[in-house]
Amino acid sequence: MPTMAEVARRAGVSVSTVSHVVNRTRFVSPEKAQLINDAIAAMGYQPNELARSLKVASTNSVGLAISAISNPYFTDIICAVEAECARLGLMVFLSDTQEDPDRELQVVRAFHQRRVDGVILAPSGSPERAIAYLADKKLPCVLIDRFADDRFDQIGVENETAMRALIDHVASFGHRRIGYIAGQPGLATTRERVDAFHASLAANGLECLPHYVSPENVDTASATASTHAILSLPAPPTALVTGNNMTTIGAVRAIREKGLSIPRDLSLVGFDDFEWADCFEPRLTLVEQPCTEIGRQAATLLSERIASSHAPPRAVRLKATLQARESCARPVNRRSI
């Protein structure tokens, strides 16, 4: 690889002048700049980004630590973060923490060791060590989707109002026995949605029966098992609400395994609209989260935090939208399913 000194010799200028053109640190006359750029193009010179980052204390890169990259919800957010970072001139390093606190800490440390300018993190169910590391190292960070620590900028959705919209919708059909299949244990979003489920039932004058609620489901298989258990009760719910797209899939599987029809035998609504939700039969009623806007604003928040580390942390809640389709109907009057 050609060096900066070789470029300088070919262009007939000093090494420092080449450095100023490459790093845009000082004005260089257009004539000299053209000579240098011509030499760079002819020789195929590539700046040493590591050396540059050591000099200017910035790598123009950020780390994006997501808990489940394969989840379509996070895939949409990742695409939005990457697009906005590209617009801002930032490179994104992506890693999957796999909802594992040990892996999460390892990823955050690796990002820091690689001198990223900041981190966007979807916290695990037990993020204390990773968050403590970020705080100790004073590494700019935005927490995404899950509100875990108010020392950092955070962005997510209005879970309370979204859940209220779901329960109001279900209750409007006359349902009084409503069950809930919650998502991943330990997550702030899971706790917020469980609390909002209880509050929304109360606001509609409905009783929340503990055996109608499955508060923790780690994957689709556990959601399927929980749905089977609830639907096997002597007097099961006439409607089910699911806490995320994975529990929706698990619930649909259990409902079909029991030979039931949605919404004739059981109404089903939930969180996290996904691309193929309207390909189900019937089309599913779901809360659509603004994934693109979450990702875009997360990148913007981080860029602003990198530029101004002393500004007060911000908490941004975006509005989710109820996509009412055909999976909810009036309840069937039967004692058991």
DSSP string across 269-334: EEE---TTGGGSSSPPEEEEP-HHHHHHHHHHHHHHHHH-TTSPP-EEEEPPEEE--SS--PPP--
DSSP-based three-state secondary structure for 48: coil
Cα–Cα dist 14/26, whole Å: 14
Q: Return averaged pLDDT per consecutive 10 residues of the chain, 337 residues in all.
A: 86 88 83 91 77 62 89 90 93 93 96 94 94 95 94 96 97 96 91 96 94 93 97 96 94 95 96 76 92 96 92 95 94 58
Contact between 217 and 181 under an 8 Å Cβ cutoff? The reply is yes
Cα–Cα dist 281/325, whole Å: 11
Both structure tokens of 146: 């899950």
Both structure tokens of 149: 């620590």
Contact between 18 and 6 under an 8 Å Cβ cutoff? The reply is no
Strands (E), 1-160: 61-66, 91-96, 118-121, 141-144, 153-157
pLDDT of residue 337: 42
DSSP-based three-state secondary structure for 47: coil
Both structure tokens of 110: 């690796």
Radius of gyration (C-alpha) of the chain in whole angstroms: 26
Cα–Cα dist 38/290, whole Å: 46
Q: What angle do CA 28, 33, 34 make, to 5 degrees?
A: 155
Domains located in the chain, CATH noted = 2-46 (1.10.260.40), 57-155+289-317 (3.40.50.2300), 157-287 (3.40.50.2300)
Both structure tokens of 291: 């994934």
Cα–Cα dist 313/298, whole Å: 13
pLDDT of residue 333: 62
159-171 vs 188-203: helix crossing angle, rounded to 10: 40
Sign of the Cα pseudo-torsion (96, 140, 138, 57, in order): positive
Neighbours of 187 (CB within 10 A): 26
DSSP string, 67-80: S-TTSHHHHHHHHH
DSSP-based three-state secondary structure for 319: coil
Please identify which residue in the block is written with the tokens 């399927």: 224
pLDDT of residue 248: 94
pLDDT of residue 231: 96
Question: Pick from 252, 286, 248, 251: which is nearest to 165 by CA?
Answer: 286
Q: Is the pTM of this model over 0.85?
A: no
| 110 contact partners, CB below 8 Å, separation of at least 6 | 63, 95
Question: Pick from 145, 164, 163, 162: which is nearest to 154 by CA?
Answer: 145
pLDDT of residue 157: 96
DSSP-based three-state secondary structure for 316: strand
Chain centre to alpha carbon of residue 289: 10
